[in-house]
Amino acid sequence: MIAELISRFGRLEDTPTGVVEDRLRRVADDEHVFTSLMPGAAREQAAASTERWRDGRPAGRLDGLPVAVKDCIDVAGTPTTNGSLVDAEASATRDAGIVRALRASGAIVIGKANLSELAFSGIGTNPHFGSPVNPLSRDEPLITGGSSSGSAAAVASGQVPLAVGTDTSGSVRVPAALCGVVGYKASEGRFPRDGVRTLSPTLDSIGVLVPTAADLVVVTAALDPCVGSPGPRAPGPVRLVVPEDEVVADVAPEVAAWFRGAVEELSVLDDVRVERRPLPVLAAAQELMDRHGTLVAAEAFCGYGRLLDGTSAGLLDSAVVRRLRLASRVVSTVGPVRAHMTTLRERVAAELDGGLLLCPTVRDAPPAVSLVTASADVFDRWNARILRTTMLLSYLGMPGVSVPRGDGRRRGLGLLVSAPDGHDRAVIRAAQLIDDAPTNPHHVNR
């Protein structure tokens, strides 16, 4: 989609002005996906991009492409709300590093995308700016997942072909899966994080959401040629390791059936080898966090615990208040989790032995908003379950791409391919292979 749109610009069959105007009209018809829009600046930039294409001198590989930016990332001249009334900041004076990279490639920011308050929930609801509804919803509204809720909804609904988010415990991968799009969590140090509001300094990462894995290749090549450029491929088939562990065993029956069919389809490809075996490091890391708490919780409290004092707590999402209060207990217990992190990351690389981990992104299909918000206890249980797989893999330092395969695209089910830290190119290549491989409807529907 993105490559074709850029090609149309190059052939003068379409213009950034026309595309941006069309996307702004679409955005205006959909509530709660964006916290703010920048129509004036977007139109000016689109006009300049149109002239560059007519002159045959595009600024970069994404020149004229409309983009949404999660509202915890600074865009000069607009407020950064972080999805909050009490943690919002006045208009940013400088673009964040990832926004500067987008602009250098010619992309046009049309607005700031909604998110869970403080980026601290996997559900995607927001009581202050309204909650985006999953575009896959039919009879009843479904959750988008979070925290990059608006970013995922914007791409899934066709409002933008590219959205930028952040991923700490699954905040890009989860909503990508639940909304039926592709979501990439980069290795922690892959992209600059200046100008990005921090939830967990240790685990925060930049991520992107796009319609297809082919689009992801185009975008990452524009933002970081070392990751996105094709380059020489390693000899032999891609090895996908399906772990005989909780991340596959503890899923809803419909997810299990879909995942089994998808793996069978991939197993018959000439350039794929599927290995089913235990990865003991997954259980070891999960047990450690279950016993001592998570780094995300501890670091979130260190950054935002101050908001529980005085009148601020009354202006916070009640779900965020509950999580921060629980997180206050983790600060004193999380030491072993931090102490063992490096060793466990080395273990996951050793146990994968050159392979890539493959599992469902989320253990359930997207639930109804009414179900998840029925009570505080129900909300908190769903939040923990939705993030359980991706939070584990974040702790292990694994970049990953969630790919909606077959009818998973309309059902909100994603295949998550992950690799040890720094192996972003491998997971992006594997994601494209997975996305491009033919599907058998008898497999994914049974």
Residue range 189-225, pLDDT digits in tens: 999 999 999 999 999 999 999 999 999 999 999 998 7
CB 407 within 8 A of CB 445: yes
Residues 6+ apart with CB under 8 A from 159: 23, 26, 27, 30, 33, 68, 153
Predicted pLDDT at 424: 97
Q: Would residue 171 show up in a list of annotated catalytic residues for this protein? A: yes
Predicted pLDDT at 228: 58
Instruction: Please determine, for residue 446, whether its predicted confidence score (pLDDT) is greater than 50.
Output: no
Classify each residue of 273-298 as buried b or exposed e, where b means 16 or more C-beta atoms within 10 Å of its C-beta. Answer: ebeeeebebbeebbebbeebbbbbbb
Q: How confident is the model at residue 440 (pLDDT cuts 50, 70, 90)?
A: confident
**Which residue is catalytic, options 70, 105, 151, 169?**
70
Q: Concatenated DSSP letters for 319-360?
A: HHHHHHHHHHHHTTT-HHHHHTHHHHHHHHHHHHTT-EEEEE
Q: How confident is the model at residue 31 (pLDDT cuts 50, 70, 90)?
A: confident
Name the residue type at position 360: P
Average predicted confidence (pLDDT) for the chain: 95
Please state, in angstroms and rounded to a whole number, the distance separating the CA atoms of residues 374 and 290.
25
Predicted pLDDT at 49: 98
**Which residue is catalytic, options 105, 157, 171, 200?**
171
What average pLDDT does range 348-368 have in this prediction? 98
Assess whether the previous peptide bond of 147 is cis (omega < 30° from 0): yes
Stretch (H or E) spanning 242 = strand 238-243
What average pLDDT does range 310-336 have in this prediction? 96
Q: Would residue 70 show up in a list of annotated catalytic residues for this protein? A: yes
* φ/ψ of residue 251, rounded to 5: -125, 160
What average pLDDT does range 127-146 have in this prediction? 96
At residue 183, the 3 state secondary structure works out as strand
Q: How confident is the model at residue 444 (pLDDT cuts 50, 70, 90)?
A: very low
Predicted pLDDT at 191: 96
What average pLDDT does range 321-345 have in this prediction? 98
Q: How far is CA 86 from CA 79, 80, 174, 191, 311, in A?
A: 13, 11, 26, 28, 10
Instruction: Please determine, for residue 179, whether its predicted confidence score (pLDDT) is greater than 80.
Output: yes
Per residue in 237-283, pLDDT (tens digit) is: 999 999 999 999 999 999 999 999 999 999 999 999 999 999 999 99
Place of tokens 């129900």: 378
Residues 6+ apart with CB under 8 A from 379: 123, 319, 372, 373
In the sheet with 356-360, reading across from the earlier edge strand, the strands are: 34-37, 108-113, 66-70, 162-167, 205-210, 182-185, 400-403, 415-418, 356-360, 238-243, 272-277
Q: Would residue 137 show up in a list of annotated catalytic residues for this protein? A: no
Predicted pLDDT at 52: 98
Name the residue type at position 116: S
Predicted pLDDT at 407: 94
Predicted pLDDT at 441: 55
Per residue in 62-104, pLDDT (tens digit) is: 999 999 999 999 999 999 999 999 999 889 999 999 999 999 9
Q: What percentage of the chain reaches a pLDDT higher than 90? A: 92
Q: How far is CA 56 from CA 9, 51, 53, 108, 250, in A?
A: 10, 9, 5, 18, 54
Predicted pLDDT at 235: 63
**Which residue is catalytic, options 105, 131, 147, 148?**
147
Q: Which CATH number fits domain 2-228: 3.40.50.150, 3.90.1300.10, 3.40.350.10, 3.30.530.80?
A: 3.90.1300.10
pTM to 2 decimal places: 0.96
Per residue in 366-383, pLDDT (tens digit) is: 999 999 999 999 999 999
The structure tokens listed for 180 are: 């039926």
Predicted pLDDT at 231: 52
